[in-house]
Structures are given as C-alpha cells and as structure tokens.
Chains A and B, each alone.
Chain A
Amino acid sequence: MSATATVVERPPPRAQGWPRRRIIGYALVCLWIAFGVGLVSYLVVAWNSELFAKYAPSYLQGLGVTLSLVGISITLGAILSLPVAYARMSKNRILSGLAYCYVYFFRGTPLLVQTFLVYYGVGSFKPQLEMVGLWGFFREAFNCGVFAFALNTAAYQAEILRGAIESVPKGQWEGAASLGLHKLQTLWKIILPQALIVALRPYGNELILMIKASAIVAIITVYDLMGMAKLAYSRTFDIQAYIWVAIVYLVIVEILRHGIEWIERRITIHLKR
C-alpha cells in the first residue's frame, strides 16, 4: 500500500465572517420570514369566525370529494394500466403501436383538455350514449372527471410499470425459466418484487401529481376542495378562500411526500450497505 492512500482528505474550511453568499442567503431567508409573517398576520387580521364557521364544513366536504376522486381514478387507472403496459411490451407490432398511441395521446395533451373533451364532448354523442344507457353516468360532472383522470393516469402508470419491469435484468427471467417457473409465476414472485421497489417513487409522484391535478375538476363544476374555494371566493371576494385551500393542498402533498420517502427507506433497507 502506498503512502498516498493513507492521506485523508480534509474537509474544506468553514467559511468565516460574512461572505457574499451568506449575506444573500440570510436576505432570502428574511424575505421568506417576512412573507410568512405577512401572511399569518393577514390571516389573523382578516379572521372572520362567521365565514369560517360557514365554509369550513364545506371545505372538509370538498376535501372528501377530492380524495375520493383521486382514490377512485388512481385505482381504476392502476387496473387499466396493466393491459396497456402488457400491450406496450408485447412483440406484436399492432398491439404495441396502439398502446404507444394511447400513451402518447394522454401524455401529450393537457389533462384540462382531456377533461373538457369528456365533460363537454360527450354531449355530442348523447343519442348514442342514451341508447347504450351510459348517458346517466356521463351527465354527472364527477363521473366525467373520474373517467378522464383514470384514462390519463392509466397512461402514466403504464409507463411507470413498463419502465420498472424493464429495469429488472433479463437474467432474472432466464434464471426463473431454468428453475422451471412459468411466466406468470416468474412475474409474480421474481420480477414484480424487484420492479416495485423501482416503481415506488414514480408511483408516489403520480399520486401527488393526481392530487394536484384534481384541482382542475373545479372548472367542470365539481365541488371538490378547489371547487369549494371557488364558490367561497365568488360569494365573498375574499382572497382568504384561496389562501386556506393552498395551505390544505400543501399540507396533503407534504404528508404524502414524506410518507413515500419513509416507505422507500423501509423497503430498501436490505439494499443498504
């Protein structure tokens, strides 16, 4: 062993005094503190217990609508993403081409346009839908939202699933085949446990994205959390309506983000060295 290998790299000396970046950093933090204090003091000054008593229950109700919308569409999307991911990975050119087009359409156009396409667009097919008895379903804005969101998230989830499955080395499939496991067993017992570790973070991001995106159903007259805020604002013209809703969304997203990080730490414990 040479002598140089024993030289330990010294940590860089800590910056003393007030270098420029520290001044800028403190200034920015002070700016944030001023912003926070301003916001809190505004909320305290503008506190109106009558308004709060009137709208807090409706916000809670809206939160329930938001969560159920996201929950239903994520679940439906997960189910729908299985055949899409399968088709996307299949060797059949037509099947994989169709799945590619599906994914490209739903990832390439804004969710708002898709939601409008479903909510306003189904009106153009009213006679046909009445014939098959689906008109009652699409007349509800909530159902239209769920329909559009499920199709959208299915495209994203299919890509996540495909990426995760393809991230597992091919040798795992071959090893399983040489042990005499058939395809489905291999997928279930060997590939998926490894793939899902890779997929957890993208799935979590997708969940957060859906929570955030669900605010747009307020535009198609669903009274979710954002819809309630819009209603409260249009009645009172009080900007507090949006500030409170922003706080609620921020809290939900932060809880989810930290929860996902915690789960990821737990399930990758065996990979740590």
Chain B
Amino acid sequence: MQQSVWTLLSWGPDGWLDDIAFGALVTVLLALATLPIGLTVGFFVAFAKQSEEPSLRLAANIYTTIFRGLPELVTLFLFFFGAPLVLQYLIRLIYPDSTIDVNGFVAGMIVLALIFSSYASEVFLSAFRAIPKGQYEGGYAIGLSNWQTMRKVILPQLIRIAFPGLENCWLSLLKDTSLVSVVGLAETLRAANVAAKVTKHSFLFYGVAALVFLGLAVLSSFATSAILRSLGRREAQR
C-alpha cells in the first residue's frame, strides 16, 4: 500500500505527525527538566573548583573528569542498567523482596544532568575567573556577608559572562536528549523510529526528526538572544 507523503505526515490516526509532535514535547520537557538541576550542580561544582580548599577542588575535578571523559551513551547505559542493581542491593537490605524499575525519563534526566553540569561547571569556572578579586573585597568592605556578596555582587555579573557558554551547553543538551531514545523513552527520535519501521519511509521520518531538532535549535537561539538583550538592557540602565 502506497500512501502519499502528506497522509503520512498528517495529524490523526493515519498520519504520524501527532506522534512526532508528542515526541518533540517529551524532548523539550526532558531538556527543560534537566536544565535547573544541571545548572545548580554545575554552579556548585565550579564553586568547589575555584575554592582554596584542595580537597574540594579534588572532588570537583574527579567529577568533571569522569563525566566529561565518558561517552554520553556509556554513561546512560551504565546508569540505566547499573543503577537498578545498586538500588536493589541497597533496598533489599531493608525490604527483602522489592524490585526496582528505572523510569526512562528519570534515568535520562539524571544522566543528562550529570553531563550538562560537568560541562556547565567549566563555563562557570571561567566566568568566576573573569570576575576581579576587587568585587569580593568591595562586597566585604561595605559589610556584606559572604553569601550576600555572592548573591548580590558576583552572581549578576557571573550570569552575564557565562551566558554565551551556557547557551552552547543548552544546545548540546538538547541534542543529547536524542540518546535517551535508545533506552526506550518515547521522544522525537523514538517516535520517528517507530514511524519509519512501520511505514518503511525511513528517510522521510528521520528527516522530520532532524527538522524538529533544527527547529528547536532555532527557537532556542531566538529565546537566548531575547534573554541576552534584556540582560544587556539591564546593564545599560545602571
């Protein structure tokens, strides 16, 4: 049975566009859910890396060496197949007969957050280094506590310096979400996969998946340039 391209790409029971749109939604949700965790962890890792305390630096460096050195796919598989084993072992110490199932979305979120945070920490670290020491001393001189200096003096500048680098991290996060399709999460690539297997129109559906990712990249570049403009405007007002 030969269906036309437009039927295949229609919305509804005959077409696959609704499935792919749902997949795109999952992709976006996964990336958005990972972002706050990754940013927070990345910030603290960078904070530890620029600390004077050698043990903190060592711990943070081990973290980034591991998660930047491992291929994303290996991290994902290790976590997806390994974490249930460890969790089950730990939980069976308390509740002897329980089984653990790792949700694909949660596993993907954690793995992507690990990877994203280790890359974001490098960006934050170079931003930390770009802020002159006088800013800390100034904060200290007007009687701000360490935490207040960080929040009111350092962070606003840090975000502005780190923003372009973080944008790159975000784009690679968006692309890395496609890997989670391998462990069965129904995101864009998975939906395209199913559609391609069923209809035998592989090039069409993988092409559509590529266009979805391209569209997301374009959308986020619009969003980031808007954010950048507002950041710049606020700076100009002062």
- Which A residues form the contact surface with B (CB < 8 A)? 12, 15, 19, 21-22, 24-26, 28-29, 31-32, 104-105, 108-114, 116-117, 120-125, 211-216, 218-219, 226, 229-230, 233, 239, 242-243, 245-246, 249-250, 253-254, 257
Contacts and interface: CB of A to CB of B under 8 A. Distances in A.
Interface stretch (B35-43, B78-86, B227-235): B78-86
Nearest to B182: A219
Contacts of B207: 117, 121
Interface stretch (B55-63, B91-99, B148-156): B55-63
B203 A122 contact: yes
B77 interface: yes
B178 A113 contact: yes
Contacts, number: 147
A122 B82 CA distance: 35
B56 A25 contact: yes
The listed residue with most B CB atoms (<10 A of its CB), out of A28, A109, A250, is A109
B102 to A, nearest CB: 13
B69 A254 contact: yes
Contacts of A22: 53, 55-56
A81 B203 CA distance: 25
A68 B62 CA distance: 29
Nearest to A218: B73
B56 A110 contact: no
A170 to B, nearest CB: 24
B161 interface: no
Contact of A246 (B70, B178, B200): B70
B69 A249 contact: yes
Interface in B175-222: 175-179, 181-182, 189, 192-193, 196, 200-204, 206-207, 209-210, 213-214, 217-218
Contacts of B202: 116, 120-121, 123-124
A216 B206 CA distance: 16
Nearest to A19: B53
Given A113-B192, A116-B189, A229-B77, 15 more contacts: A22-B55, A25-B58, A28-B56, A28-B59, A110-B189, A113-B210, A116-B192, A116-B209, A117-B203, A117-B206, A216-B71, A216-B73, A239-B85, A242-B74, A254-B65
What are the 9 closest A-B residue pairs judged by CB atoms, nearest first? A25-B55, A25-B56, A121-B203, A28-B59, A120-B202, A215-B71, A110-B178, A108-B217, A124-B203
Given A125-B203, A216-B179, A25 B70 contact: no
Nearest to B213: A109
24 contacts: A21-B51, A21-B56, A25-B51, A25-B56, A29-B58, A31-B59, A110-B178, A112-B179, A116-B189, A116-B192, A120-B196, A120-B202, A121-B203, A121-B206, A124-B202, A215-B71, A216-B73, A216-B179, A239-B81, A249-B71, A250-B65, A250-B70, A253-B68, A254-B65
A120 B48 CA distance: 45
Most chain B beta-carbon neighbours within 10 Å: one of A113, A242, A245: A113
Contacts of A122: 203
Contact of A109 (B48, B53, B201, B210): B210
B61 to A, nearest CB: 10
A253 B59 contact: no
Contacts of B66: 250
Contact of A242 (B81, B175, B201, B204): B81
A31 B60 CA distance: 12
